[in-house]
Amino acid sequence: MTAPEALQWSVDNCTIQRSLEIMGDRWSLIVLREVFQGIRRFDDMTVRTSIPRQVLTARLRRLVDDGILRKEPYRVPGQRERHEYRLTEKGLNLYPVLIALQEWGNRYLADPAGPPIEFAHRDCGEPVHLVVRCAAGHDLTGSREVVGRIGPGAVRRATPAAVGD
Amino acid sequence: MTAPEALQWSVDNCTIQRSLEIMGDRWSLIVLREVFQGIRRFDDMTVRTSIPRQVLTARLRRLVDDGILRKEPYRVPGQRERHEYRLTEKGLNLYPVLIALQEWGNRYLADPAGPPIEFAHRDCGEPVHLVVRCAAGHDLTGSREVVGRIGPGAVRRATPAAVGD
């Protein structure tokens, strides 16, 4: 057999990879889950998760540096000023990633009662789900209808893989 | 201000968290990206990624153990039997996670030419995208239309957070 065609192409500009580099590890997505649930303060973020405090500090800094969260100051009477974390537009636009992870988890890993967290349509209150649609307007009904392929920004690798087996 | 309501609820049964535990780290999703692109053999998986070989071994084992990939034997003449990795149905159903990561990345992190990888509708060849739809049939048009909330499987935390500021 010949080598898969994809091997001839570089993934240096892969946007999946770049997204994952910003996410860093699963803790970043857990932090975002908490913020999406209205949990915005450092100490509160440690209540439901087992995230180590120094990891949380690092992940929050990274998410702020990358423009996904922004810091908002607040002050409790008698205490020093602190800040809480809010989603930016860029951060809010990550909700399909959380929904996609949750839908897969709901299918394969859920307890019978269902998930403890839900995403809903703000206007009508109904829960939301993801639909895969193609540019011709077809809604896809199964995973076998999707195919991965070389994209418009593909660049040939400088040192192509030896074609062989 | 009172504590966020979400703090009163456990996330021990969170399906986002369970999905992320299986994914482990970003390397698992990078491996899945490669398999979705038709790259199925260990050595080939090291060509386009900088994944260390021992990490790749561990991630592949985990993905097989969790039923996301399956091993298929093959033999090159004159060499010992080896195996390649194929997506199971459970693995194929992860493509919305990759599409969601890619769509976000395409929006914020792409080179002008676009991404090197694309997901398309097998029947008509058009690229696919995700639509967020609610159970009442509305297609949501923006991230501010989505709200996170307590889900059907939520269980109160055994040791609720002190309600404070």
Cα separation, B156 vs B22, in Å, equals 25
Spatial separation of the C-alpha atoms in residues B151 and A90, rounded to whole Å = 25
Q: What is the pLDDT of residues B83-114, one digit of tens each?
A: 999 999 999 999 999 999 999 999 999 999 99
Note whether B20 contacts A40, CB cutoff 8 Å.
no
Cβ contact (<8 Å) for B101 and A16? Answer: yes
DSSP A12: T
Q: Is the pLDDT of residue B138 over 90?
A: yes
Q: Which chain A residues are closer than 8 Å to B47 by Cβ? A: 7, 161
Sign for the pseudo-dihedral over CA of B22, B25, B31, B36: positive
**Which of B7, B14, B119 comes nearest A39 by C-beta?**
B7
State residue B159's pLDDT score: 67
Would the pLDDT of A125 be above 80? yes
- Give the whole-number percent of chain A exceeding pLDDT 90: 73
From B109's Cα to the closest Cα of chain A, the distance in A is 6
Phi, psi of B74 (to 5 degrees): -150, 160
| Nearest residue in A to B130, CA atom | A132
- Of A20, A70, A30, A89, the closest CA to residue B109 belongs to A20
Check: complex ipTM more than 0.85: yes
Q: Give pLDDT, residue A3.
A: 82
Task: Nearest chain B residue to A115 by CA: give it.
Answer: B153
Whether B52 shows a pLDDT value over 50: the answer reads yes
| A75-89, A119-133, B12-26, range with the lowest pLDDT | B12-26
Alpha carbons B73 and B52: distance in angstroms, whole number: 23
Quick one: angle between helices B26-36 and B53-65, nearest 10? Answer: 80
Distance from the Cα of A159 to chain B's closest Cα (Å) equals 10
pLDDT at residue B158 greater than cutoff 90: no
Q: Which residues of A touch B130 (CB under 8 A)?
A: 96, 100, 130-133
Domains of chain B with CATH codes: 5-145 (1.10.10.10)
Q: What is the mean pLDDT of residues A53-82?
A: 95
In this prediction, residue B161 carries a pLDDT of 54
Q: Cβ of B44 and A135 within 8 Å?
A: no
pLDDT > 90? residue A160: no
Chain A residues within 8 A of B75 when measuring between CB atoms: none
The amino acid sitting at A130 is L
In whole angstroms, give the CA distance from residue A56 to residue A46.
8
The alpha-helical segments, DSSP class H, found in chain B are 15-23, 26-36, 42-45, 53-65, 89-92, 95-108
B65-87 pLDDT tens trace? 999 999 999 998 999 999 999 99
pLDDT digits (tens, 9 = 90+) for A7-25: 999 988 999 999 998 887 8
Position A162 scores a pLDDT of: 54
Q: Which of B33, B87, B36, B41 is nearest to B64 (CA)?
A: B87
Asked if B149 and A118 come within 8 Å (Cβ–Cβ), the reply is: yes
Q: Which of B24, B49, B94, B25 is nearest to A14 (CA)?
A: B49
Q: What is the full DSSP assignment across A13-45?
A: T-HHHHHHHHH-SHHHHHHHHHHHTT--SHHHH
Distance CA A119, CA B94 (A): 19
Q: Residue A1's pLDDT band (boundaries 50, 70, 90)?
A: low
